[in-house]
């Protein structure tokens, strides 16, 4: 029975490792991630088949039990995951801001009069000029009518 559980755990580690290898950023980061995941899969498989080995490694590092070593490793891994996720989120946020600005500029250029653009005239709306109904005006007239 114990061998069945060990094989199932090893297969689960392999499947998760393969799933995490997919996707990517640049080639260097992808290579580092794949190497670390293969290393993790090997260590996980060894710890499943030889649980006493993990306890010996933990005692070598001055940690009482192998489970404590796994817990510490998971804490460090979680912190690294949080840091990289934060960096990726900030990068996506910056890219989205740049894209939004580019789209806004393109919209202004697309709606500007070709004659005004060719003459070098400003395409900015003149303050106080009527540029169509304002939402406040429409809401106010609907509310009173």
- The answer to whether the CB of 69 falls within 8 A of the CB of 54 is yes
Q: How many CB atoms lie within 10 A of CB 35?
A: 10
Per the listing, tokens 């069945």 go with 4
pLDDT higher than 90, residue 63: no
Predicted confidence (pLDDT) per residue in 43-62, tens digit: 888 888 888 998 898 888 88
Average model confidence (pLDDT) across the chain:
74
- Domain borders along the chain are 1-49, 65-109
pLDDT of residue 41: 82
**CA 39 to CA 33: how far, in whole Å?**
10
* Residue (of 44, 70, 42) closest to 55 by Cα position: 70
**CA 16 to CA 28: how far, in whole Å?**
21
- Of 4-18, 46-60, 74-88, 89-103, least confident by mean pLDDT is 4-18
């Amino acid at each position: 029975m114990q061998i069945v559980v060990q094989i199932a755990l090893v297969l689960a580690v392999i499947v998760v490792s393969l799933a995490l290898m997919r996707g990517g950023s640049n080639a260097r980061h992808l290579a580092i991630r794949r190497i670390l995941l293969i290393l993790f899969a090997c260590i996980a498989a060894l710890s499943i088949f030889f649980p006493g080995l993990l306890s010996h490694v933990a005692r070598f590092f001055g940690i009482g039990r192998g489970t404590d070593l796994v817990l510490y490793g998971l804490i460090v891994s979680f912190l690294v995951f949080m840091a990289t996720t934060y960096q990726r989120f900030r990068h996506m946020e910056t890219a989205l801001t740049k894209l939004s600005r580019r789209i806004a500029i393109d919209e202004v250029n697309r709606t500007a009069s070709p004659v005004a653009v060719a003459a070098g005239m400003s395409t900015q709306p003149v303050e106080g000029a009527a540029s169509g109904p304002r939402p406040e005006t429409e809401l106010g007239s609907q509310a009173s009518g």
